[in-house]
Structure 1
Amino acid sequence: MAVPATRTAVDDLRETGPGRLMGEYLQHMAVERGLSANTLAAYRRDLLRYHRFLVTRSVTDVQRITRHDISAFAQALSTGSDGLAALSPRSAARTVVAVRGLHRFWALEGICTADPAHDIHPPIAGKRLPKAISVDEVTRILEAVNTDTPGGQRDRALLEFLYSTGSRISEAVGLDVDDVSVDAALEGPAVVRLFGKGSKERMVPLGSYAAKAIDSYLVRARPALSANGRGNPALFLNLRGGRLSRQSAWTILKSAAEKAGVTGEVSPHTLRHSFATHLLEGGADVRVVQELLGHASVTTTQVYTLVTADTLREVYAAAHPRAL
């Protein structure tokens, strides 16, 4: 997965000077860090933006890039000046982090004698609370799927899987049949092997509802879908027997949400947010949720505690006789 994305990144930054050296950095990130294709694509977009900025300032030698250039770039990301489109604080922060990593790499490799970006700090992005839906809304969505057809049984298995594991949609559609163990699902907890960002592997329990739905799909529906293709090993197949795409999975969820009468924007990531929020509301430890979500840092997971804290305040205000 990483090689094609890396080649594209290098091709886009093939010219001499900063562009060529940025391509070498992306190659390093792919080979040495093992970043996913999606992460590499994000780095490529950020560095292309930085490259275009340097071109407008006629900077063609990486040794001549100064702290002032990088600071001006960070400012332009927030204000939309110097020919750059204004980015949200979160996107601007991510771009500055990419540029800091680039200059650190150049300094360590001896390409530059100094690191002018070492004390440039990204803008502080406000904490964005994840959107979660209630347990009742999740149940209505799951039960809205018509399982009379092979495609419907696949849809139910997919949505049950997403909510049961809290997996990213890319992780779910990237699974092969051999990654899921449901042979003893009806007698004990099933387990699924997920591959997260940077191909990090983790084992996640599979709830009984999801295990039953997947077992039914594997026995009754997947053989019919597979017959339309060429023996694809993917767990979730499309109607032509190929691997289900992320876009198709999003459409499946959107259709089920509309049938269930769940208003507002509902995406596969909504089920991931809901998975984490409902676990914490049920008393799960934040570090356990961190492991289940595959977060590298518990800080990322702790944003969900803000959601549950808000819920607690609402309940307290409504129920305690002297709260107001």
Structure 2
Amino acid sequence: MRDLRTLGPWLRRFLADYIVTERRLARNTQMSYRDSFTLLLPFISTKIRKSADRLNVEDITPALILQFLAHLEESRSCSVQTRNQRLTAIRSFARFVASRDPAHLAWCAQIRAITTKKAAPQPVSWMSRDEMEALVTVPDRQTLRGRAEHALLLFLYNTGARVSEATRLEVGDLQISRRGDNHALVTLHGKGNKIRQCPLWARTEDTLGELIQGRETCEPVFLSRHRKRYTRFGVYRLVERCAAQVPSLAARPITPHVIRHTCACHLLQAGVDLNTIRAWLGHVSLETTNIYAEIDLEMKAKAMALCSAAAPRPERPWKENKGVMAFLNAI
């Protein structure tokens, strides 16, 4: 780069070379960082009245970043988690610039001094078995589109897969119609290009087998009504549309991640240990999976509160009346 002050070349190197080639981060990470700067640059341009192509690195000041973060929460109604995610992208970019040009070390230190906000943990939302079954059966399986939607919902419930894992799934990732006692398996490509295998129920195997009949191994498993690979937005819209048709779910925000939580909670209720659930969902740390154990403890506490055996019993009298009239009254 000839001009080390211009922001554009730095961003190109950061998003196209550093993220992809050097760090080998996931495609979703690259897109998330891109979205952060897609929002940040127009905001700064408006504030300092300077086009985005003419912005310098030093134009991204701590004061403007704080204003941008406040804008995200107040004007765009973003959550604290989203605010922190955008800040993480900016701080990562600042660290990249300073590592290549020591002249920006002081600027980088000021940017990285901006702290993240402490966010209250979000309650884990999940569905009961009846609610999940009702959601899965909403699509009309008499039509090709309905069968594809039913298969996608059933697959999400069976595997607890992330949306990105489901949309990336190809026919070659499925191992179905295996002979003997071998379970059907699916290979999922998760975060950070981590690969894991997950067993499939018999009904999931049958549903997917019908769906992919006649397709090549390199073709996507789930196709939208336009016969193209499902997008993230398409999966979210499908889940929201089906949930709106279930009376008990209509007023609740149901997303594909709620289905992921539901899968984990039902596995826990079935007696599956936490470490197996961690591997099932593709969590790196067991601490991430522990949230489902806390849910289970809450369910046990509620069950104990409703249990009649836990209710206080009346004190027994010192002497019981064993007369015939007491016997008759007790019947």
Question: If the TM-score is normalised by the length of the shorter chain, which range does it land in?
Answer: 0.7 to 0.9
Q: Distance in 2 between matches of 1:97 and 1:138?
A: 35
8 A Cα contact 1:186 1:211, kept in partner: no
Aligned to 2:162: 168
Q: 1:153 aligns with which of 120, 135, 147?
A: 147
* TM alignment of 1:106-255, pairs within 5 A: 106-111=97-102, 112-114=104-106, 115-116=108-109, 117-184=111-178, 187-218=181-212, 222-223=213-214, 233-239=219-225, 241-255=227-241
SS in 1 for 2:260: helix
Q: 2:91 aligns with which of 100, 104, 108?
A: 100
Matched, 1:29 2:19: yes
Aligned to 1:275: 263
Amino acid at match of 2:185: V
String of CA shifts for 1:71-123, please: whole Å, max 9, x gaps. Answer: x3564355439x97564211111122222212222222235334414443211
Q: Distance in 1 between matches of 2:169 and 2:191?
A: 14
8 A Cα contact 2:148 2:211, kept in partner: yes
Q: Per the alignment, do residues 141 and 153 of structure 1 end up closer, same or farther by CA in structure 2, a change over 3 Å counting?
A: same
Q: 1:308 aligns with which of 277, 296, 299?
A: 296
8 A Cα contact 1:76 1:84, kept in partner: no
String of CA shifts for 1:188-213, please: whole Å, max 9, x gaps. Answer: 32111111233332222222331222
String of CA shifts for 1:166-221, please: whole Å, max 9, x gaps. Answer: 01223212211110101228843211111123333222222233122222434xxx
Q: Per the alignment, do residues 46 and 255 of structure 1 end up closer, same or farther by CA in structure 2, a change over 3 Å counting?
A: closer
Amino acid at match of 2:94: H
Amino acid at match of 2:67: A
**Greater Rg by CA:** 2
8 A Cα contact 1:169 1:246, kept in partner: yes
SS in 1 for 2:105: coil
Q: Distance in 2 between matches of 1:185 and 1:315?
A: 43
Matched-pair identity in %: 25
Number of aligned residue pairs: give it. Answer: 297
8 A Cα contact 1:77 1:87, kept in partner: no
Aligned to 1:80: 71
Aligned to 1:321: 310
Q: Per the alignment, do residues 103 and 299 of structure 1 end up closer, same or farther by CA in structure 2, a change over 3 Å counting?
A: farther
Amino acid at match of 2:100: E
Aligned to 1:90: 81
Amino acid at match of 2:141: T
- Give me the CA root mean square deviation: 3.5
Q: Distance in 2 between matches of 1:49 and 1:98?
A: 12
Q: Distance in 2 between matches of 1:251 and 1:95?
A: 24
String of CA shifts for 1:30-51, please: whole Å, max 9, x gaps. Answer: 2223334433222122234444
Question: C-alpha displacement at 1:256, in angstroms?
Answer: 4.0
Q: Per the alignment, do residues 29 and 126 of structure 1 end up closer, same or farther by CA in structure 2, a change over 3 Å counting?
A: same
Amino acid at match of 1:32: E
Question: C-alpha displacement at 1:302, in angstroms?
Answer: 3.5
Amino acid at match of 1:195: H
8 A Cα contact 2:304 2:310, kept in partner: no
Question: C-alpha displacement at 1:322, in angstroms?
Answer: 5.1
SS in 1 for 2:197: strand
Question: C-alpha displacement at 1:53, in angstroms?
Answer: 5.8
Deviates more, 1:292-301 or 1:156-165: 292-301
Q: Per the alignment, do residues 160 and 61 of structure 1 end up closer, same or farther by CA in structure 2, a change over 3 Å counting?
A: closer
8 A Cα contact 1:133 1:270, kept in partner: yes
String of CA shifts for 1:275-320, please: whole Å, max 9, x gaps. Answer: 1222233343334323322234444433434433332332232226
Deviates more, 1:148-157 or 1:174-183: 148-157
Amino acid at match of 2:258: T
Q: Distance in 2 between matches of 1:311 and 1:285?
A: 17
SS in 2 for 1:188: coil
Q: Distance in 2 between matches of 1:216 and 1:186?
A: 20
